[in-house]
Structure formats: C-alpha cells, structure tokens
A and B are shown apart, each in its own frame.
Chain A
C-alpha cells in the first residue's frame, strides 16, 4: 500500500533552518509528483510547492520562493523540504502529499505531518 512517512517534530529558533524528509513507498517513486503543504495550527492549508522526483525539477509558491528548497533522492525514495530563515509564523504542521503522474495538484496520499515549532 502507498505510504508517505515523514521525519519527526522539530523545535527551532527564529532565523534557523529546518529540513524535513518524506519517504514514499508502495508505488513507483519516480512516477508521481510530490507536493508540500503546510497548516498553521487551527487554520487552513497552504500549498508550498511541487517536485518531480524524476529529475528533481521544482516549482515553488511565490510566497516561499526565496526560503524553500525541495530535493529528491530516487535511490531511497525520499523527498526533502528545506525551509530557511524561520520565523514564528512558520510554526505549522508540514505535510508531503503525492500528486499525480502529471503536474496536477490534487493529493491522494499524505504523510502524517511534521510539526515545526519556531520559538526563541
């Protein structure tokens, strides 16, 4: 069965960086695009960007373009998101989600989420 398993919760100070991993299994990793979505506690969902695991091409939401980098490792079936210059309003649950075999941004399988807390 398809699974997306993310790394554990993180606590960071303002100005620091965080790197979250998402290991996919149960399907051909390079075939499906993967997205990152975040959710501020008690609030809505916000799309951050997309990566094509085959080749590593990316597109980021305009809001995050200067602070986010997504990468993939086809040898382990893992994608990563790196967020720099963290602020308190980056405190959120970060999700990876499987997209489609074309760059359509609808998400059929999600990771369990990684809580990132930014606090001094």
Chain B
C-alpha cells in the first residue's frame, strides 16, 4: 500500500495569506496525484488532478505541483470559502490496463483554519 503523509496537520491563516500544503508518498506515484477540498457535511470536491491540472470550475488561486514522491497544493490568497480540510490522493495505476491494479489511497488531511 502506498502511504501518503500530509503536513501540516492544521494550518492557521488569515484571509489573503498564501497556503502551502504538502503531501509525500511512500514510493513514486509519478504524477498520479489528486487534491480534494472537503467542508463539514459535504462530499469531497476535486481541485487538482495529474498533480497540476485544475479541475473544471476551480479558481486559479489553487495550484498543484510536484512529481514522484513530493507534492504541493498552494492557495495564492486564501479566501473565506477556502477554510476546509484538504486531502491528497494517489491513483498510480496504468490507464492501459483493465481493472485498477493498485489500490488508490488518501492522505490523512490538512485542515486550513482561520487564524
């Protein structure tokens, strides 16, 4: 199983500040990393896939980077609606195969809270 470790556990920021969230994989996942935002009582929302591609409708203040084992989600200027929990997820399976051959896994989450 590929273990994803997110840091920090909690990030306390004021609106307008920059957020930098880290996700480290226990082995290389190439660029098969997605980031999700989850607010209380809601389902996760896809922000980034392929490590750096923004999902449809995601504001450009969200950006992703990294490859191999180290990944970063950045929020250039945090807005009130961005205070939430963020999860990274790896999906390092070959799209040319049939069924998924490696189980996707998630990080434990980083909470972005108002300072």
Report A's interface with B, CB cutoff 8 A.
44-47, 50, 57-59, 61-62, 95, 97, 100, 102-113
Contacts and interface: CB of A to CB of B under 8 A. Distances in A.
A105 B104 contact: yes
Contacts of A111: 43
- Is chain B's interface secondary structure helix, strand, loop, or mixed overall? loop
Given A104-B91, A105-B93, A47 B104 contact: yes
Nearest to B102: A105
5 contacts: A45-B106, A103-B98, A106-B104, A108-B56, A110-B43
6 closest Cβ pairs, A-B complex: A110-B43, A59-B99, A105-B104, A105-B91, A102-B95, A45-B106
A61 B103 contact: yes
Contacts of B91: 104-106
Contact of B43 (A58, A95, A100, A105): A95
Given A44-B87, A44-B109, A47-B105, A107 B99 contact: no
Contacts of B112: none
Contacts of B100: 50, 59, 103, 105
Interface of B: 32, 34, 36, 43-46, 49, 55-56, 87, 89, 91, 93, 95-100, 103-109
Contacts, number: 66
Most buried by B among A59, A62, A102, A107: A107
Contacts of A45: 44, 87, 89, 106
A103 B99 contact: yes
A117 B45 CA distance: 24
A13 to B, nearest CB: 26
A119 B86 CA distance: 30
Given A50-B99, A103-B100, A105-B91, 7 more contacts: A44-B109, A45-B44, A95-B44, A103-B99, A104-B32, A106-B46, A109-B46
B96 to A, nearest CB: 8
Contact of A103 (B49, B56, B97, B107): B97
A108 B91 CA distance: 13
A110 B44 contact: yes
Contacts of A105: 89, 91, 93, 100, 104
